[in-house]
Chains A and B, each alone.
Chain A
Amino acid sequence: MDFSDVLASSIHDIKNSLGLILNSLNELVDDPNNRIANPRQASLLQHETQRANSALIQLLNLYKIGNAQLVARINEHNFDDFFEDVLADNQAMCRGLNLELTHRCDPHLTGYFDADLIHGLLNSAIGNAGRYAKTKILLSATIEERYCVIRLEDDGAGFPDALIHCLPSENGLPQFIANDPSRTHLGLYFASRIAALHRNSDGRTGMIRLRNAHILSGSCFELWLP
C-alpha cells in the first residue's frame, strides 16, 4: 500500500465522521427544543467542522500537487450558477454566524476553470472570511484585462499590510511559506498553486492577489483566471 492509498482511505473515514457531526449539528441548530447547546455554539462547531473538511481536501490536493498528480480540468461555467452552488455549501454556516453571504455578477457571465478545485478553494476562503467579517461577505466575478476575476470580500478589519506585500506582483508563488507556516499563509500558498494550474494556450497563467477595501471595507481576496 503506498502513501496516497493510506491517505485516501484515512480521509474517507474522517469525512464520514465529519459528515455525521455536521448532520447532527444541523439537527441541533434546527431543533427549537434542543437544550444541549445554544444555536450560536452549534453554529461555531458547524463552522469549524466545515473548515476541517476543507483543510482535509486541501491536504489531499497539496499532496497531489507535490506528486504532480493534480491537473486542472477546465470547462466553461456560468458564474451565477457556480456561485449558487458555492453559496449552498456555505449559507447555513454564515447564517449561524449572523453573516450575510451574497454574490454579484452578470447572469450571463461565464468563465473557464476547474469547478471542483475553485469551489474547494472558495469554501476555505469563505471559512476564513467568516472569522474576520463583521456582518457581510460578498462573492463577485467580472472580466478585467482579459482575465476572469473572482473576488471574495468582507467588511472586517482587512488584511495586514505585511500579508499583502508578501505576494509577488506578477505570476509566481508567494515567498512567505518558509518563514511563517501559519494557517492563513498555507491557505494562500494553496490558493496560488491552484490558480497557477489554470493556464490558457496563449501562455497566460492564473494568479491570486490581495487588497483591502474594494467594494466592502475589509479584505479582498482576488483570483485571476486566464
Chain B
Amino acid sequence: MTDEFTNKKFLIIDDFSDVRSAIRSILRSLEVTQIDQARDGNDAIVQMTGKRYDVVLCDYNLGPGKNGQQVLEEARHNLLLNIDSIFIMITAENTRDMVMSAVEYSPDSYLSKPFTKEILQRRLDKLFERKADLKKVSKAMIVKDYNTAIAELDALIATDPKNLPDLLKLKTEICMTANRYDDAMVIFEKVLHEHEVSWARLGIGKVLYWKKKHQQALEMFQQLIELDPNLVTAYDWLAKTQAELKQFDAAEQTLHAAVKISPRALKRQQQLGDLALSNGHPEQAETAFTRAVTLARNSALNHPSLLAGLARSKSSNNKHIEALKLIGEITKSFPNQPEAVFYKATATAAVKQNQGDSVAAAAALQSAEQVISQCGELANSKLGLELAKTYAQLGDHDKATALIQSVIANNHDDEEFLMVLVQVCREAGFEYDAETAIREIQQGVVKTNNTGVYLIKQGKFDEAIHLLHEAADEMPGNKTINLNAAKAMIIKMEKFGASMEDILTVRRYVERVQTLAPQDWRLHEVVSRLKNISPTA
C-alpha cells in the first residue's frame, strides 16, 4: 500500500540517536528504503548540499548550534530543496506558536511529537498529493508568471476540492505578490462574510496599506491585535503602517511588543534596532541588535549590516572600544565580501566621528566610497543610503544631499524604501527636508514617465524612446523607468520590426531590472514579449 515511498529519499535530522532510530523504524514500516540521518544542523546542511532529498524530517530543537528553523532557512536560501521536496518540522510545542514565529521561510508542514506511523503516513500522502496538484502553479511561480499561476489555481478551485479553503488562501497570496489587490480583496471579503478569520482580515489591512489608505490600515491592524494579541504578523504590519504615518515612536513600541511575543525573528530585531537608533533610543537599539547578532550567528540570513548596527548602537552608548572590536569581526565573519568591507568602513567612520577623530573618520569614509564606485551604476541603493547617512554624520551635507537625491530618483515609487530613507535622514540628525525632496523628485520622475507613456499612445515612438532613454541613463537604478523604456521599444519593434541593436538595448534595460529586483512582478511580461521578437534587419 505504501510503495509510493520506496523511491523517495528521506533525511532525518535530530540530535538524539534514539529518536532518530525511532523515526527510522517508523519510516521502514512505511516501506521507505533510502534513509539518511543527520545529528545536527551543520551535518544536515552538508548532507543536503550533497544530495537532493524528497522528504526532510527535522526536529526544531537540535541542541547547541543551528535550530530547525535555521536549517530550513539555509536550505531554502541556498536552494538545497527542490520545488517538490517536502520539509516537515517536528516540534514538541504546540505547532501554533511555531507557525507564528517563522517569518521568512516556513516548512511545508509541522508535526507535533510524539507522532504515530499513521499520522506520518497521512501527512506525507497529503503533502505529496498537494505538491502534485500544485505542480503547474509552482512552475509558473518559479518563472514569476503570476497570471498563469493564478489561472492554473483557478482551474483547481473550479473542481471544488477538499482543500478549497487552503487554495483560496494561496490564491490571495499570489494575487498580492502580483499586485492584483482587487482580486485578493474579493476573496478576503467573501471569507469574512462567512466567518471571522484572521488571515482574511490581515489581508484587507495589507491591501489598504498598499493602496495608501494608511489610517484605515492602521485601524484594521489594531483591531486584529485586539482580537488576537499573539498575532505577530499584525504587529509587523502595524509598525510598518505607523512608520508610513510618521508615528515612529509608536512603530518602535509596536515592534517592541512583537519581539516580546516572538523574540526569535532576526529581521524584526534588526528593524527594531534601526528604528530605536533613529528614534534616539540607543540602549534599546543595542538590546535589539545584540539579539539580532546572536540569532544571526548560525543563520544563512546573517548580514554585515547587523554587526555594523550593533557597533553603531554601542558607540551611541559611548562604548567605542567595544564598537571597534565588533567592527573588526565584520570582515572576519564575511571574508572576501565587498559589502562587508563597505559596512566595516562606514561603521568605523561613524565610531571615529563619535570619538572626535575626524581624520580617521574621513579615511574610513574614503574606503567606503571606493567600494561603492567599484559596484558601478547599479550600486545597491541600501549601500547608497548607508553612505549618505555616514556623510551626514560626518558633516558633509553636500555629498549626502547629492547621494540621497540620486537614491530617491532611483526608487521614486518604492514607498517602503523611501520611508526608510526618511528615517535614515532623521537618524543622521540631518537637517535636510527629505520629504519635500522626495515629493519634488517624484513629481519630476512621474512627469517624465507619464509623458513617455502618453507619447507611446500617440504613436510617437521615437520621441517616447528618446525621452525614456535619457531618463534611464540619468537614473540607471530606476526600475520603472528602465521597464518603460524597454516597453516603448518593444511596442515599436512589434509594430515595425526590430534591429539586433534595438534588441540588445532592451535586453540591457531588462538586465538592469533583473539585477536590481529579480522578483519584480512586472518583469515576466516584458521578458516574454522580448523573447517573441527576432531581428528583421
Are A and B genuine complex partners? yes
- Chain A residues 77-93 with CB under 8 Å of chain B are 77-78, 80-81, 84-85, 88-89, 91-92
Which residues of A (185-226) have their CB < 8 Å from a CB of B?
Answer: 199-201
* A68 vs B227: C-alpha distance when bound (angstroms): 12
Asked whether any CB of chain A lies closer than 8 Å to the CB of B67, the reply is no
* Known contacts A11-B93, A12-B61, A19-B22, A76 near B116 by CB under 8 Å: no
Given contacts A20-B19, A27-B25, A76-B194, contact A81 B162 (CB under 8 A): yes
Number of interface residues of B (CB under 8 A): 39
Interface of A is mostly: helix
Given the interface contacts A18-B114, A88-B121, does A23 sit within 8 Å of B93 by beta carbon? no
B18 at the interface (CB under 8 A from A): yes
A20-B18, A23-B26 known; A75 vs B114 contact (CB < 8 Å): no
Instruction: Tell me if A170 counts as interface (CB < 8 A to partner B).
Output: no
- Which of A78, A108, A114 makes the CB contact (< 8 A) with B163? A78
Give bound CA distance, A69 to B165, whole Å.
26
CB <8 Å contact, B118 and A91: yes
Which residues from A are CB-within-8-Å of B122? Answer: 84-85, 88
A140 interfacial by beta-carbon distance below 8 Å: no
Q: Are B94 and A60 in contact (CB under 8 A)?
A: yes
Q: Which residue of the partner chain A has the closest CB to B21? A: A23
Contacts A12-B61, A15-B114 given; indicate if A20 touches B196 (C-beta within 8 A).
no
Bound-state Cα–Cα, A81 to B96, Å? 19
Q: How far is the CA of A8 from the CA of B94 in the complex (A)?
A: 10
* Contact present for B196 and A200 (CB under 8 Å): yes
Knowing A69-B230, A116-B96, A200-B196 are in contact, say whether A77-B114 is a contact too (CB < 8 A). Answer: no
Question: How close is B253's CB to chain A, nearest CB, in angstroms?
Answer: 20
Question: In the assembly, what is the distance between CA of A69 and CA of B231, in Å?
Answer: 11
In the complex, what residue of chain B is closest to A112 when comparing beta carbons?
Answer: B195
Per-position binary interface string of chain B over residues 114-127, scored 1 when its CB falls under 8 Å from any chain A CB and 0 otherwise: 11111101100000
How many angstroms between the C-alpha atoms of A199 and B92 in the bound complex?
28
Does B229 touch A at the CB level, under 8 Å? yes
Specify which of B94, B121, B163 is in contact with A61 (CB 8 Å cutoff): B94
The answer to the question of A144 belonging to the interface, with a C-beta cut-off of 8 Å to chain B, is: no
Q: Which residues of B contact A27 (CB under 8 A)?
A: 25
Q: Closest residue of chain B to A49, judged by CB?
A: B114
Q: Which residue of B lies closest to A13 (CB)?
A: B92
Closest to B120 in A: A88
Residues of A within 8 A of B191 (CB): 76
In the assembled complex, the Cα of A75 lies from the Cα of B527 at a distance in Å of 38
Residues of B within 8 A of A84 (CB): 122
**Contact A110 to B163, CB < 8 A, known contacts A20-B22, A57-B94, A88-B122:** no
Closest Cβ of chain A: how far from B133's Cβ, in Å? 14
B358 at the interface (CB under 8 A from A): no
Q: Is B197 an interface residue (CB 8 A)?
A: yes
- CB contacts (< 8 Å) of A69 on chain B: these are 230
Q: How many residues of A contact B (CB 8 A)?
A: 44
A89 touches B198 (CB 8 A): no
Question: For the complex, is A65 an interface residue (Cβ under 8 Å from B)?
Answer: no
How would residues 6 to 47 of chain B score, 1 for a CB under 8 Å from any chain A CB and 0 otherwise? Answer: 000000000010110010011001000000000000000000
Q: Is B228 interfacial (CB 8 A cutoff)?
A: yes
B195 CB contacts on chain A under 8 angstroms: 74, 76, 112, 200-201
Given A81-B162, A88-B119, A116-B96, A76 contacting B197 (CB threshold 8 A):
yes
**Minimum distance in angstroms from B21 CB to a CB of chain A:** 9
The answer to whether the Cβ of A73 comes within 8 Å of any Cβ in the partner chain is: yes
- Do A76 and B196 have beta carbons less than 8 Å apart? no
Known A-B contacts A74-B198, A76-B197; the reply to A12 vs B93 at CB < 8 A is yes
Q: Which of B154-206 contact A (CB under 8 A)?
A: 160, 162-165, 191, 194-199
Given A12-B61, A19-B19, A81-B162, decide whether A30 and B29 contact each other with a Cβ distance below 8 A: yes
Does B439 reach chain A (CB closer than 8 Å)?
Answer: no
Q: Are B114 and A22 in contact (CB under 8 A)?
A: yes
Q: Say whether, besides A19-B22, A116-B95, A92 and B196 are in contact (CB < 8 Å).
A: no
A166 located at the interface, meaning its Cβ lies under 8 Å from any Cβ of chain B in the complex? no
Which residues of chain B are near A61, meaning CB under 8 Å? 94
Residues of A within 8 A of B160 (CB): 108
Q: Mark A92-114, 1 if CB is under 8 A from B, else 0.
A: 10000000000000011010101
Contacts of B165 in A (CB 8 A): 75-78, 110
**Contacts A16-B16, A85-B122, A110-B165 given; does A201 touch B196 at CB 8 Å:** yes
CB distance from B468 to the nearest CB of A (A): 47
Q: Is B94 in contact with A78, judged by CB distance below 8 angstroms?
A: no
Residue pair A92, B118 in contact (C-beta under 8 Å): yes
- The distance from the CB of A42 to the nearest CB of chain B, in whole angstroms, is 14
**Nearest-Cβ distance from residue B30 to partner chain A, whole angstroms:** 12
Q: Contacts A15-B92, A19-B19 given: A89-B118 contact, CB under 8 Å?
A: yes
Residue of B whose beta carbon sits closest to that of A202: B196
Within 8 A of B (CB), among A143-188: none
> Closest Cβ of chain B: how far from A135's Cβ, in Å?
21
Question: How far apart are the CA atoms of A22 and B18 in the complex, in Å?
Answer: 13
| Alpha-carbon gap, A24 to B18, bound state (A) | 11
* Interface contact A26-B199, CB-CB below 8 Å: no
Residues 1-39 of A at the B interface (beta carbon under 8 Å): 8, 11-12, 15-16, 18-20, 22-24, 26-27, 30
Instruction: State whether the Cβ of B113 lies closer than 8 Å to any Cβ in chain A.
Output: yes
Query: Which A residues touch B96, using CB under 8 A?
Result: 73, 114, 116
Q: Which residues of A contact B92 (CB under 8 A)?
A: 11-12, 15-16
What are some 22 contacts across the A-B interface (CB < 8 A)? A8-B93, A11-B92, A15-B92, A15-B114, A16-B16, A16-B19, A19-B114, A30-B29, A60-B94, A61-B94, A68-B229, A73-B198, A74-B196, A76-B195, A76-B197, A78-B162, A81-B162, A81-B163, A88-B122, A89-B116, A92-B117, A200-B196
- Residue numbers of A with Cβ under 8 A of B are 8, 11-12, 15-16, 18-20, 22-24, 26-27, 30, 53, 57, 60-61, 68-69, 71, 73-78, 80-81, 84-85, 88-89, 91-92, 107-108, 110, 112, 114, 116, 199-201
What are the nearest 5 A-B pairs in CB distance? A19-B114, A12-B92, A76-B165, A23-B22, A88-B118
